[in-house]
Amino acid sequence: MVSAISNQINGCIMTDTFLGVQPIFDRERQVVAYELLFRGASGGFEASGLDGDAATSQVIINAFSDIGVERLGRDKQLFLNLTEGLLSSDLIQTLPPDRVVLEVLEHVRVTPALVVAIERLVAKGFKLALDDFIYGSEWDPLLKLCHIVKFDVLGDDESAIEAKLASLPSRYRPKLLAEKIENRIQFVQCLNLGFDLFQGYYLAKPRVIAGKRPPANRLQVLRLLAQLQDDSIGLKDVERLISQDVTLSYRLLRFLGSAAISQGRSIHTLMQAISLVGLRTIRQWAALIALGNLDSQHPYSFTRSLTFARFCQIVGERNLPREKDALFTVGLFSNLDELLGVPLPEALQYLPLDETVKHAILKHEGVLGRVLANAIRFESSENTSVSPPPGLDTETLSTYFLEAFAWSQEIQSEIQGA
């Protein structure tokens, strides 16, 4: 019967995702920050064939959604190389300003519009760094705003490094970072010349940390992107579109958990998350996801999650109206271990979900957990001791489950035909 769901679900193909990180040290050789670098299956940025926007976008996705910057510690600053386009985008404002250092590359054109965009970001608490710095008067508007200036000292002797420092007008007093330090002599020279921060192969080479990206439905992402451009779309419509794809929902909440938006608040529902973000940023976020490598997968990979989500929601709509949205969330994320290929507690660990929601998923606690346990019972067609929620009977729940299964099939058919 409904156990046919199990037969239809094939194993999801997970995509490897990579992030390069290079430590930045203080004068006591303590790690105080990491520079985030693009790394792909074929190597670094030069081998990727991507332009700067796409590569930086991929770094943001990998760091704040798929891998998680919490793996680098919560007390370390994160240097992020940014293009002109991304510096002017609303998306950057969703990153945590207390952690992210906006690194302006040497080839960026300093325009009035760029200066205004950076002024707004600095006012929000972001720190600004100027990379591979060589002084010219065109940099004065940014030098007034910046906190860190990075000097490339690769192959330089002490006099060459001193000359670079002397080029910086004395009226500016940012912190000084020496990058591409290649030996101990050079490190000591930079210490003696008054540098505050240090980076280079002598201290630590970049390392690559790996993660797994959940499979994403390319057609659903494209459909979402197209519909989000409609100015008449409302938040409820956005919720409906995103909730139809469990990995889009997961990546949105994962991003919220790493970014500044949730501000430590627990999230109970997708609508709450979407309301926190706002439609404008959702558009930016969806475009960012589209820049990543979206792999197609067998359409039945999500059948179980969609069925559980709709089953739990039906129970809520018809019997527990106050819990209907939370019930949908519980059902939607109940199979993340299957989708991500990691244990369920690990999959849920960094999502900013309320603890009652997490306990319902992991331990089947409370009324939310009991509804989910019934979904699992019907899906497996096994006789268990799970009792129906108050006021419901097994026959009614079985009807709900069949209805939910039909809904999940219909949703996936719509997505395929979009």
Tokens of 99: 């952690």
Q: How confident is the model at residue 1 (pLDDT cuts 50, 70, 90)?
A: very low
For residue 13, pLDDT beyond 50 = no
pLDDT at site 6: 31
pLDDT 10s digits, 313-348: 899 989 998 888 788 888 878 887 776 667 888 878
Number of C-beta neighbours around residue 374 at 10 A: 26
Tokens of 360: 């319902």
> How far apart, in whole angstroms, are the C-alpha atoms of residue 51 and residue 55?
6
| Mean pLDDT along residues 203-209 | 89
> How far apart, in whole angstroms, are the C-alpha atoms of residue 380 and residue 397?
14
| Mean pLDDT along residues 280-295 | 53
| Mean pLDDT along residues 99-108 | 90
Q: How confident is the model at residue 361 (pLDDT cuts 50, 70, 90)?
A: very high
Query: Buried (b) or exposed (e) across 207-225, using 16+ Cβ within 10 A?
Result: eebebbbbbbbebbbebbe
**Domain extents for the chain?**
15-211, 215-418
Query: Given the DSSP bridges, would you call strands 207-213 and 15-25 parallel, antiparallel or unpaired?
Result: antiparallel
For residue 140, pLDDT beyond 90 = yes
pLDDT 10s digits, 34-74: 998 887 655 555 544 556 666 777 787 777 766 767 777 77
pLDDT at site 331: 87
Q: Within its chain, how far is the Cα of 121 from the centroid? A: 19
pLDDT, averaged across the chain: 78
- What is the share, in percent, of the chain residues with pLDDT greater than 90? 33
Among 101, 330, 308, residue whose Cα is nearest residue 197: 101
Q: How confident is the model at residue 178 (pLDDT cuts 50, 70, 90)?
A: very high
Tokens 């240090």 — which residue? 198
pLDDT at site 368: 94
Topology classification of domain 15-211: TIM Barrel (3.20.20)
Greater confidence (178 vs 301) lies with 178
Which DSSP string do the residues of 147-205 spell out, in sequence order? SEEEEE-TT--HHHHHHHHHTS-TT---EEEEE---SHHHHHHHHHTT-SEE-STTT--
pLDDT at site 93: 76
DSSP letter assigned to residue 66: I
Q: Within its chain, how far is the Cα of 306 from the centroid? A: 22
| Mean pLDDT along residues 346-367 | 85
| Mean pLDDT along residues 91-116 | 87
Within 8 A by CB and 6+ apart from 193, the residues are 158, 161, 162, 165
pLDDT at site 3: 33
pLDDT at site 313: 87
Cα separations (Å) of 131 from 20, 29, 150, 200? 17, 21, 5, 14
Query: Buried (b) or exposed (e) across 85-117, using 16+ Cβ within 10 A?
Result: ebbbbebbbbbbbebbbbbbeeebebeeebeeb
Q: How confident is the model at residue 157 (pLDDT cuts 50, 70, 90)?
A: very high
> Residue 31 in contact with residue 24, Cβ under 8 Å?
yes
| Mean pLDDT along residues 264-293 | 66
Topology classification of domain 215-418: Hypothetical protein af1432 (1.10.3210)
Number of C-beta neighbours around residue 416 at 10 A: 11
> How far apart, in whole angstroms, are the C-alpha atoms of residue 387 and residue 394?
8
Number of C-beta neighbours around residue 389 at 10 A: 18
| Mean pLDDT along residues 402-417 | 68
pLDDT at site 183: 94
pLDDT at site 12: 41
